[in-house]
Amino acid sequence: MTDRSLLPAPAGPLVAARERAFRILTDRYADDTLALEEFERRLDLVYGAPSPAAVDAIVGDLPAAGDLAGERLQPRAGAGWSHPNVGVGTGGDGRGVGERGGRLLAVLAERRVSGGWPLPERLEIRALFAEVVLDLREVPLPADSTIDVSAAFAEVRLLVPEGVAVECRVGAVMASVDDRSVLPRGVPRAVVRVTGTVALAELGVRTVPRGVAADASFRQVWRRARRTNG
């Protein structure tokens, strides 16, 4: 016989309202309706609201939450393709990112991007309650590119091949920005500028160490880079 005292209590109206508001806020942050500061402000208000009506009022001016997992690739005028995919889960690659610009979105998800897709001149990474891994070892790189990161409650890791110069100009709000990329000797074969803001998040940048096997896994390379990138 089940001890009912051990069963979780059913979610009440206030909890349900908060969950609904949280989904609306994450959707609207993901599609750039809300800036990071406004997202955080409203999130604090939602968790402090004393009633379902008060919660609903905080998000009442925002479009209703949609199904992130049901979104499809949409063209972005003048800037290649948007890649709004994500939903909950793992997987993903660089398909759908255009030559000039694109977006990689991760909300309540894990995204690992690697392979031979071309890095656009400008790539936007939007991560919320997510883990994003961008492995550029086999990626064709333009001579000059920008990766703009906006992350909250997330971890973003960027691995660049030897000979690539990284300029990291990321702002941090109660966050960690750990750039241990290695400056190339002589003229770099490519320059990757990392910009944006991370809040309550972690951003790490590493260079592939010398002597690492080409078929080594990302995890193996990242661990080696942590020891050798000074």
- Look at residue 10 in the predicted model and tell me its pLDDT: 45
For residue 179, list its beta bridge partners.
205
Reported as half-sphere exposure (CB side, CA atoms, 13 A), residue 15 has a value of 4
- The single residue listed with the structure tokens 């991007």 is 113
- Look at residue 44 in the predicted model and tell me its pLDDT: 81
pLDDT tens by residue, 128-178: 889 999 999 999 999 999 999 988 889 999 999 999 999 999 988 889 999
- Look at residue 229 in the predicted model and tell me its pLDDT: 66
- Look at residue 34 in the predicted model and tell me its pLDDT: 84
B/e letters for 79-99, b = 16+ CB within 10 Å, e = fewer, are bbbbbbbbeeeeebbbebbbe
Low-confidence ranges of the chain (pLDDT < 70): 1-11, 65-101, 229-230
- Look at residue 230 in the predicted model and tell me its pLDDT: 56
Strands (E), the chain: 74-75, 81-82, 101-107, 110-113, 122-128, 131-135, 144-152, 155-160, 164-173, 176-180, 190-199, 202-207
For helices 52-59 and 13-30, the axis angle rounded to 10 degrees is 10
Nearest to 168 by CA among 154, 153, 185, 156: 156
- Look at residue 89 in the predicted model and tell me its pLDDT: 31
